[in-house]
Amino acid sequence: MSSVMSLNIQQIMEMLPHRYPFLLVDRVLELEAGVRIKAYKNVTMNENFFQGHFPGQPIMPGVLIMEALAQAGGIFVVQSLDIVSGEKLFLFTGIEEVKFRRPVVPGDQLMLEASVVRRKMNIWKMQGKATVDGQLVAEGIFSAAVVDKGK
């Protein structure tokens, strides 16, 4: 049985190349290598995308919710494969069956969960869901490839 671990923002930044304003995972609560991840993004009014989406009625863009799920998936894969920082990139290759259920607004804590559907060579397919206060806000299946950095 694999152990469950958590990761703070410094550890996340060692695993992902993303930086402000595009780093969309604040903390990993649970990570079971090769099985699943549970992480979160604190959504605040200070997010730059709220300036234009939408003035007077701020809503987190759905594509950024999916990006947050993909980043959580990237952390999951990097940790599962025990990849040394900077050696590989985790590239989003597709999304399927995406559904958005309710808006995500400033003050929400966006919970991000992903689990493996299938893994074949360097391609990972994961089921992801995002929730706020236990309510489903978005879900979908996403796939990504692990490639050598610089290719």
- Structural domain total, the chain: 1
In this predicted structure, what is the pLDDT of residue 62? 97
Q: Cβ(42)–Cβ(86) under 8 Å?
A: no
Please give the C-alpha separations between residue 113 and each of 42, 73, 150, 151, in angstroms, as whole numbers: 14, 8, 29, 29
pLDDT of 41 > 60? The answer is yes
Mapped onto helix, strand or coil, the DSSP state of residue 114 is strand
Active-site residue among 36, 53, 119, 129? 53
The whole domain housing 132 covers 4-148
Give CA–CA dist 46/23, Å, rounded. Answer: 14
CATH number of the CATH domain containing 15: 3.10.129.10
**Taking residues 138-143, what's their average pLDDT?**
97
Listed in sequence order, the DSSP H helices in the chain are: 9-15, 62-81
Say if residue 27's pLDDT is above 80: yes
Check whether 1 has a pLDDT greater than 50: no
DSSP state of 14: H
Q: Is the peptide bond before 17 cis (omega within 30 degrees of 0)?
A: no
Residue 85's CB is within 10 A of a number of other CB atoms, namely: 12
Average predicted confidence (pLDDT) for the chain: 93
Per-residue model confidence as pLDDT tens digits over 49-92: 999 999 999 999 999 999 999 999 999 998 998 877 667 888 88
Helix, strand or coil, per DSSP, at residue 56: coil
| Residue 38 Cα distances to 8, 83, 125, angstroms | 13, 19, 16
- Coil, strand or helix: which one is 27? strand
**pLDDT grade for 2, boundaries at 50, 70 and 90:** low
Catalytic site residue 18? no
